[in-house]
Structure 1
């Protein structure tokens, strides 16, 4: 179970749920059980509440990778802060090592910079590119599984 969110200045601009429970069942993608919806809302709440911890950590660390900034019920929130102030947050179960998390963040950061270099892309606007999402999912398979 992993949830990845890119947070701009005021709001989330990209979200990818890497949990395998919703794709491994034979259920229709439109039908979501109440438990899965409750877990999704809890995960979003955990990430939202960790933003305060990220802001606290960003002033005490000179690095872009802020590492584990929050923990809740066996879940860990890792943060990566870009030079422009955009934050990458990853909620995971802690089964991966620090090297794989850093590799994931750096590769997603490279994708994000390439996306921003597109003259039609506006900073702090929701990312709706299916190509970007597909590439993030490839990086998740490469680094986090």
Structure 2
């Protein structure tokens, strides 16, 4: 069996030009955009669930879609998912670092994300079928 040399073998190449998205691309004011979750949708398009930081330093999540996953991004006109500290106190300082998993047997996407509060960071979960409506499942 042939062994791979993972120290010299190129497994991925960074897309150039990069980054794909910057705050200048956003349809509303943000301080920064980084660390998105990514998934391919049933129509073959790419969806990014981007962590955005507002000018207060609090994070929220916004959907960006592209037919080819490289350019012509369509970004939601306002935050897609904002912290809900009244009902989810673990989100008082923001929501960050989403990860998406599609569960075919349920035809739903589950989103694990970091909720941030006085107690520090925690892991929270929500689900969606369409990336328009979301159900928070808690921390």
TM-score, normalised to structure 1's length?
A: 0.28
Larger radius of gyration: 2
TM-score, normalised to structure 2's length?
A: 0.29
Q: Which has the higher strand share?
A: 2
